[in-house]
Amino acid sequence: MPTEEAYCNTGTIGASPLRVLHAVVGHLVDSMTEVARVDWSEGGTSLLSGYSAYTEIREKIGRLIKADYRLIALTQNATMGMNLLANGLDFPVGAGVLITDIEHPGGRCGWELLAERRGTRLQKAEIRFPVEDPGEIVETFEEAITPETWLLSFPHISSEQGMILPAKELCDLAREHGIISVVDGAQATGHIPIDVEEIGCDAYYSSPHKWLMAPAGNGFLYVGKPLIDDIWTTLASTQWNNHEDNGYRLGQRGTGNPALLRGLEAALDLHFEIGPERAYGRIKELGDRLRRGLSRMEGVEVVTPLHPRMSSGLTTFKVEGIEGKSVQDELWRRGRIQPRALREGRGVRYSTHIYNSEDEIDRALRIIGEMIGSA
Ligand SMILES: Cc1ncc(COP(=O)(O)O)c(C=O)c1O
């Protein structure tokens, strides 16, 4: 990336480091260069994925989220994780599925389809903004739970507002009510620390192409014991009934591209080398600097909660009288800064990752201040 350009849309897709890209491209080139030398019965997995367990990579994901690899399925992305759960669980007739009104389609539509097709009842916890405290989210869920609620699902970090939800407290609440808890971690992997045991969720799925900077086309689904044994796989192939390695069973999908898995592994290795806590510290420090600057400005509304437990690398804000798309365009035109404008009236979402800097943030704040001054 040219040094004068600032990429601030990690919330959509992370900028993969060269090491990750080389792992992908290198594998593609090497495997085809050597294709005639491959004895399929011994080394076929270098040519295609889908027919081996990829234990090593699943162990590395397990290290990241603190889980046994047998509880982790490789998927294509977060959306696939959600759908594997919605399709794979045997829901009782009339079961309530409680989600929020701030889901990304990748955390919502599988549950919608289920309601349409199987007659489950879709329930919604309506989050009232501005949110000042994690306890308010827990209260909202408490009010929304009914005797029918059978499963609840929520984003660990919401896509649009960049709000970190109190995952542990919400999963505790689910357990107290005998409800299955599912966490959509698409925005969390490689971003904030994740410990599925501590969170106490029954399932957790994610897309590592954002904050972990892995190539797109990778994802994972974790399901805790004993629930994992009860989930049917949606896509069946040779291992569809392998209950010794449930993660492998749920990750069935036929031939895939092993180069993408090499890229995922390189991204995981790099993340461990940097240190998950260190990466999180830097992401949060930069996000806090941006939020501090924005919240001091007249005419700027910071949508992302300022509570220290509720925000990190995503910051959503609105500038009075100026559409998000115009803010995005001006940041690029005047400062070569590329955040993401949200739908009309929803403002701008600005991601700060370890490849961003204080200088860029100060530049962005200056430009926004100038725009307000001349509006
Ligand atoms: C919170 C959340 N959930 C789910 C998704 C869907 O991710 P994917 O398209 O990788 O499945 C996104 C994507 O931005 C997201 O932010």
Q: What is the atom index within ligand 1 of the atom nearest the CA of 155?
A: 1
Long-range Cβ contact pairs of 167-170 (< 8 A, separation 24 or more): 167/199, 167/201, 168/198, 168/199, 168/200, 169/134, 169/135, 169/137, 169/138, 170/137, 170/138, 170/141
Q: What is the pLDDT, as a whole number, of residue 147?
A: 98
Query: Where are the alpha helices (H) located in 218-350, listed in sequence order?
Result: 246-250, 258-274, 276-295, 324-335
Q: What is the pLDDT, as a whole number, of residue 374?
A: 83
Distance 11 CA to ligand 1 centre (A): 9
CA gap 162, 315 in Å, rounded: 6
Query: What are the residues whose beta carbons fall under 8 Å from the beta carbon of 41, sequence distance 6 or more?
Result: none
Name the closest-CA residue to atom 6, ligand 1: 106
* Mean of all residue pLDDT scores within the chain: 97
CA gap 185, 134 in Å, rounded: 17
pLDDT > 90: percent of the chain: 96
**Which one of 157, 207, 340 would you pick to mutate in the ligand 1 pocket, going by the greatest count of ligand atoms within 8 A of its CB?**
207
Which whole number is the average pLDDT over 62-69?
Answer: 98
What pLDDT band is residue 41 in, cutting at 50, 70 and 90?
confident
Q: Which segments of the chain are extended strands (E)?
A: 6-7, 72-75, 96-100, 121-125, 149-155, 180-184, 203-206, 219-223, 300-302, 314-319, 337-338, 340-341, 348-351
Q: What is the pLDDT, as a whole number, of residue 40?
A: 85
Distance 190 CA to ligand 1 centre (A): 14
Q: What is the pLDDT, as a whole number, of residue 131?
A: 95
Which whole number is the average pLDDT over 22-32?
Answer: 97
Which whole number is the average pLDDT over 235-262?
Answer: 97
Q: What is the pLDDT, as a whole number, of residue 246?
A: 98
pLDDT in tens, 74-84: 999 999 999 99
Name the closest-CA residue to atom 7, ligand 1: 78
Q: What is the pLDDT, as a whole number, of residue 201?
A: 98
For ligand 1, which residues put their CB under 6 angstroms from it? 77-79, 104, 106-107, 155, 159, 184, 186-187, 207
**Which one of 10, 184, 191 would you pick to mutate in the ligand 1 pocket, going by the greatest count of ligand atoms within 8 A of its CB?**
184
- Token pair 């830097």: residue: 282
Q: Is the pTM of this model over 0.95?
A: yes
Name the closest-CA residue to atom 5, ligand 1: 106
- By the 8 A CB rule, do 316 and 161 touch? yes
pLDDT in tens, 292-330: 999 999 999 999 999 999 999 999 999 999 999 999 999
Q: What is the atom index within ligand 1 of the atom nearest the CA of 209?
A: 10
pLDDT in tens, 91-116: 999 999 999 999 999 999 999 999 99
Name the closest-CA residue to atom 1, ligand 1: 159
Distance 155 CA to ligand 1 centre (A): 9
Residue 43 has pLDDT above 90, yes or no: no
Report the first-to-last Cα separation within the chain, whole angstroms.
32
Q: What is the pLDDT, as a whole number, of residue 116?
A: 97
What pLDDT band is residue 269 in, cutting at 50, 70 and 90?
very high
Q: What is the pLDDT, as a whole number, of residue 375?
A: 73
Which whole number is the average pLDDT over 248-253?
Answer: 97
Q: What is the atom index within ligand 1 of the atom nearest the CA of 78?
A: 11
Q: What is the pLDDT, as a whole number, of residue 45?
A: 80
Strand partners, 73: 221
Which whole number is the average pLDDT over 22-39?
Answer: 95
Identity of the residue numbered 333: R
> Mean pLDDT lowest for which of 36-50, 229-243, 257-271, 351-365?
36-50
Residue 296: strand, helix, or coil: coil
What pLDDT band is residue 46 in, cutting at 50, 70 and 90?
confident
Distance 104 CA to ligand 1 centre (A): 6
Backbone angles phi, psi at 326, to 5 degrees: -70, -35
Q: What is the pLDDT, as a whole number, of residue 98?
A: 98
What pLDDT band is residue 245 in, cutting at 50, 70 and 90?
very high
